Structure 1
């Protein structure tokens, strides 16, 4: 009997390796490109960080081509969209631990170009990130996530360190309409205790961007073992938060700012909670009305004339 050769599965390419492959492909095809595509390819090869963080409009202007030329270049290299092409560069830039000091230094270099550069570049990135959120695919995914939340017995919300703001916003605003939403804080080693009440029929909403928090991954492991369905909001499908998730939102967070942007995640929260109230039972609207009335009775709001 012949022995079968045991083959190891190939490891997935990391961000830097994928970018090297794209650059190699660009170099090989460069002589065959049209003049406009050569302009675009030259800019891509020389400005990988800008391609990662800038909007397609800004990159096209810097390369002296049109946005459609950059899209044609991406398709020429086998990508279905420019977003997939740019994701290779974002992955490579953030493949290792996020160097916040390096990003801060980059801001200093932007400021040395013109007085307005930092303001304009952060604005361009913000508009681009939001624009990438509102797609047909995400629209159907939001509707599916809303149905999952509305049918849940209890909802746990998890996000630590830089994404705690996302988790807190989701829990605070969400509880106004849906009192079954609970913010998981994980303070003083209490993560296991806080998650113990959640099981089948419940949902966990988890936020996590590079660098990924060990506590968030642990929370997803614990809830998955208990049969809890997960809605994950993260920055790439290679995120360690993705495995086992029922629904995953891959939101753009590229920015020249020294810390990854949470703007798209906050906007997604607003859309998702609005969808729940719009298509949920009348009780949700009643809950909002009672909350507002209670806050006013307690003097929580200040009226202006």
Structure 2
């Protein structure tokens, strides 16, 4: 069955009906024009896909083709057919203008916030549709953890960490919270972790002794923090084995990585979601401890005893008995 059938052409009013905010200028204007010109010859499925990409440009830029198709309610192959119907060589060449748009112009966060506000107006004051969309996106990305490919990636990352003399953890800006969590929870069990940050301009000081016996967990998502990319490249050049927790196999963190763990960060919000990445961090920590045997249990026991000695955690005070 062909995706091209005889239908009347779609003019500007048709595009406005599909998405009143479809851009007439900027990096996405050409795609809008191509959809307008081809709309009359698109099948219902391709029209549905076109309608979604017009309304959700940030999803095209950030989300995998499979996830984008799921959000649009079509098959992944439909996205490939749409790209070709619009005279692109393939899906990646169709996607590139969206990435360019997200990297430039008024700024990625402003563009997302503008889309977020438009959705808020469409919801007519109710927050339920937005919250549902956010939960759905995060839930779908979290389910990717249990896929065979992701499980294998986590297992390989675990082996690299367990076999390392020192484990360096790098994450800047919003990803610092993920890096700090991994470093903190890992350090409850093992004493060979170094949290790499730029405090007091000591970013590269912390990497001074890194070598081929070490592993690096580098965490970063688009837009990639320059210090994270440069520190990861520095570590790889020293021979360290890099584990990249990032959003794409073509991420700059993945370029020299021994193992890549990809995570979908797309969200209806103005800021990318860190929830799926947090789930990956927790899964990796669990695998490391599960493989630690009695040594891991002994280390956790000692840590808990030390915390108890220092009174690290609040306890319910004992109530005094009233005098008779």
1:94 maps to which of 102, 121, 125: 102
Cα 1:271/1:169, change in 2 over 3 Å: same
Aligned residues: 278
Distance 2:103 2:312 in 1: 45
Cα 1:157/1:18, change in 2 over 3 Å: farther
Secondary structure, in 3 states, of the residue corresponding to 1:272?
Answer: helix
Preserved contact between residue 103 and residue 223 of structure 2 (Cα < 8 Å): no
1:144 maps to which of 136, 139, 156: 156
| Equivalent residue number for residue 74 of structure 1 | 79
| Equivalent residue number for residue 57 of structure 2 | 49
1:108 aligns with 2:117: yes
Distance 2:306 2:157 in 1: 29
Preserved contact between residue 48 and residue 89 of structure 1 (Cα < 8 Å): no
Cα 1:100/1:298, change in 2 over 3 Å: same
| Equivalent residue number for residue 237 of structure 1 | 249
User: What RMSD over aligned residues (CA atoms) do the two structures have, in Å?
Assistant: 3.5
| Equivalent residue number for residue 19 of structure 2 | none
1:302 aligns with 2:314: yes
Cα 1:242/1:38, change in 2 over 3 Å: closer
Distance 1:135 1:22 in 2: 35
Q: TM-score, normalised by structure 2?
A: 0.73
Cα 1:166/1:84, change in 2 over 3 Å: farther
Cα 1:159/1:221, change in 2 over 3 Å: same
Cα 1:19/1:245, change in 2 over 3 Å: farther
1:177 aligns with 2:189: yes
| Equivalent residue number for residue 5 of structure 1 | none
Distance 2:79 2:201 in 1: 47
In the TM superposition, 1:207-286 aligns within 5 A as 207-286=219-298
Preserved contact between residue 58 and residue 98 of structure 2 (Cα < 8 Å): no
- Larger RCO of the pair (alpha carbons < 8 Å, separation 6+): 1
Stretches of structure 2 lacking an aligned partner (at least 5 in a row): 1-25, 85-90, 318-324
Q: TM-score, normalised by structure 1?
A: 0.77
| Equivalent residue number for residue 8 of structure 1 | none
Distance 1:151 1:171 in 2: 16
Preserved contact between residue 243 and residue 259 of structure 2 (Cα < 8 Å): yes
Deviation at 1:50, TM superposition (A): 7.0
Cα 1:112/1:132, change in 2 over 3 Å: same
Distance 1:57 1:131 in 2: 16
Secondary structure, in 3 states, of the residue corresponding to 1:224?
Answer: helix
1:241-267 superposed Cα distances (whole Å, 9 cap, x missing partner): 121110111211001222221111111
Preserved contact between residue 49 and residue 79 of structure 2 (Cα < 8 Å): no
Secondary structure, in 3 states, of the residue corresponding to 1:183?
Answer: strand
